[in-house]
Chains A and B, each alone.
Chain A
Amino acid sequence: MAIASISVVESPRVLYALRRADDALILGHRLSEWCGHAPMLEEDMAFANMGLDLIGQARELYTYAARLEDAGNDEDKYAYLRDVRQYRNLLLVEQPNGDFARTILRQLFYSAFADPYWRAMMASKDETLAAIAAKSEKESAYHLRHVSEWTIRLGDGTEESHRRAQTAVEDLWAFTGELFHTDAVEAALIADGIAVDPESLRQRWTDTVTNVLRTATLTVPSNGWMQKGGRSGHHSEHLGHLLSELQSMQRTFPNATW
């Protein structure tokens, strides 16, 4: 017997926290899918560790959202008992792992944003968000360095690795525009000094990504049409499949604990 989804009262700050928490959880879950399958032991450990960092960030953000919402929800309920349309993550992070190159490029596009984003968020007027940022910033910087090196190794590697890396760049590029998404809700938080205007990070992101891709002898796509929808719950078909796995235990055995 399946258990019903929770309802969430998304005040501006709760929504803001859930969006970032969902990014971290979904990307962390994707990385965890590599566990035991990566092409070499070192990278198996790398993906598992990066996933652990991200899921840790998600837990802190969910816990913060639960305290703000004050409606009896908690980190587990947010993760396990919301349906696809209630998830607020970027479309980028839910894209399937594909081959090794695709996972590395997805991580590059995300981390190149997360690194300066969390650094800027350390100055948030919200003390909890600033504290979460101080931790996440160091982790994101480490992730960025790791996947940047791998992007270069793959792009400037063999003909085959170059081809796969370039294909990944092109396939994922349309999802990068959403990194800079804002709406009226976030604009108010930005004005109050609680959130960071992602537009202020665009140049930094572009410089990092362009520099890494060029060093990797990969072609930087021109900025064409960009896909969006994740922030308001309009997801690609992949998220539902991901959640069916992530949530199956709680949906099947409600309130099961370890």
Chain B
Amino acid sequence: MVSAADHMSDLRQLAWDVAAQVVDPEIPVLTIADLGVLRDVTVRDGDVEVTITPTYSGCPAMNMIALEIELALAREGIANAKVRTVLSPAWTTDWMTEQGRRKLKDYGIAPPQAGAGRRALFGEQQVACPQCGSTETEVLSEFGSTSCKALWRCKACREPFDYFRCH
């Protein structure tokens, strides 16, 4: 006989696995688990609650991600799941997994540098080209197509590329 506790832990694991597959609508190679946005899944009285944390303050993808989680869970028969957003502790690009960084690079986006400490006001930073690996790169635009990216160019292979900004 399967105990209630086992059942709950199975449900929690299933809900986690399903939620972990939800992707960032702006960067569809990254799941919310890769990003470090998925924080926790709890089961209380049979009800699933998924906890996520926002990336950038104004990132419009967050509403979409919350909706996608609910839809994905509903498809697996987990109805009435709630998505809760917590602010603390604040998300940082340091939470992005190694696998996530590799996927980003393969997708053509330079991953954020680890140790997202504060840069000096006019500090230089070195970003490697995701195409050829050269560090002979320069910034074209500090703001890019989404709030998490800047536009860079490789001086070696001449390719422009997106850089996932440290946060």
Q: Which of A43-51, A188-196, A219-227 contacts B (4 or more CB under 8 A)?
A: A43-51
Q: Give 1 or 0 for each of B133-167: 1 = CB within 8 Å of chain A CB.
A: 00000001111110100010000000000000101
Which partner residue on chain B sits nearest A144 by CB separation? B121
- Beta-carbon contact of A131 and B147 below 8 Å: no
Q: Are B165 and A42 in touch, CB under 8 angstroms?
A: no
Say whether, besides A134-B89, A134-B90, A55 and B58 are in contact (CB < 8 Å).
yes
B121 touches A148 (CB 8 A): yes
Closest-by-CB residue of B relative to A133 is B90
Closest beta carbon of chain B to A128's beta carbon, Å: 6
Collect the chain B residues with CB atoms within 8 Å of residue A142's CB. Answer: 142, 165
Number of chain A residues close to chain B: CB under 8 A: 34
The listed residue (B57, B88, B116, B141) touching A42 by CB distance below 8 A is: B141
Cβ–Cβ contact A56 & B89, under 8 A: no
Interface residues of B, count at CB 8 A: 26
Tell me, yes or no, whether A59 is within 8 Å of chain B by CB.
yes
> Quick check: A52 and B147 within 8 Å, CB to CB?
yes
Residue of B nearest to A24 (CB): B57
List B contacts of A130 (CB < 8 A): 88
User: Which residues from B are CB-within-8-Å of A134?
Assistant: 88-90
B114 part of interface (Cβ distance < 8 Å): no
Contact B88 A127 (CB under 8 A): yes
Q: Closest Cβ of chain A: how far from B78's Cβ, in Å?
A: 26
Q: Give the residues from 72 to 121 in chain B that come closer than 8 angstroms, CB to CB, to chain A.
A: 87-91, 116, 118-119, 121
Is there contact, CB below 8 Å, between B90 and A135?
Answer: yes
Does A197 reach chain B (CB closer than 8 Å)?
A: no
A46–B88 contact, CB under 8 A?
no
Residues of A within 8 A of B140 (CB): 42
Given A52-B58, A54-B58, A145-B122; A45-B141 close (CB under 8 Å) = yes
Interface hits, B51-68 → A, CB 8 Å: 54, 56-60
CA distance A139 to B166 in the complex (A): 10
Q: Is A60 an interface residue (CB 8 A)?
A: yes
Summarize B's interface: helix, strand, loop or mixed: loop
Q: Which residues of B contact A146 (CB under 8 A)?
A: 142-143
Q: For B144, what are the chain A residues with a Cβ–Cβ distance below 8 Å?
A: 45, 49
Closest partner residue, chain A, to B151 (CB atom): A42
Most buried by A among B87, B140, B165: B87
A53 within 8 A of partner (CB)? yes
In the assembled complex, the Cα of A149 lies from the Cα of B58 at a distance in Å of 23
- Min C-beta distance of A19 to chain B, whole Å: 17
CB distance from B160 to the nearest CB of A (A): 12
Complexed CA–CA distance, A138 and B90 (Å):
11
Chain B residues within an 8 Å CB radius of A54: 57-58
Question: Whole-angstrom distance between the alpha carbons of A52 and B26 in the complex?
Answer: 16
Once bound together, how far apart are the Cα atoms of A36 and B89, in whole Å?
36
Contacts A56-B57, A56-B58, A57-B57 given; does A49 touch B89 at CB 8 Å: no
A138-B167, A141-B118 known; A56 and B87 CB under 8 Å? no
Q: What 0/1 pattern do residues 10 to 28 of A give for CB contact below 8 A with B?
A: 0000000000000000001
User: Contact between A53 and B118 (Cβ–Cβ < 8 Å)?
Assistant: no
Query: A135–B91 Cα gap in the complex (Å)?
Result: 8
A107 is an interface residue with CB less than 8 A from chain B: no
Q: How far is the CA of A53 from the CA of B57 in the complex (A)?
A: 6
Q: List 15 A-B contacts (CB under 8 A).
A: A28-B58, A41-B141, A45-B144, A46-B143, A48-B143, A49-B144, A130-B88, A131-B87, A131-B88, A134-B88, A135-B87, A139-B57, A141-B118, A142-B165, A148-B121
A28-B58, A45-B144, A138-B116 are known; give 4 further A-B pairs, CB within 8 A: A138-B118, A141-B118, A142-B142, A145-B142
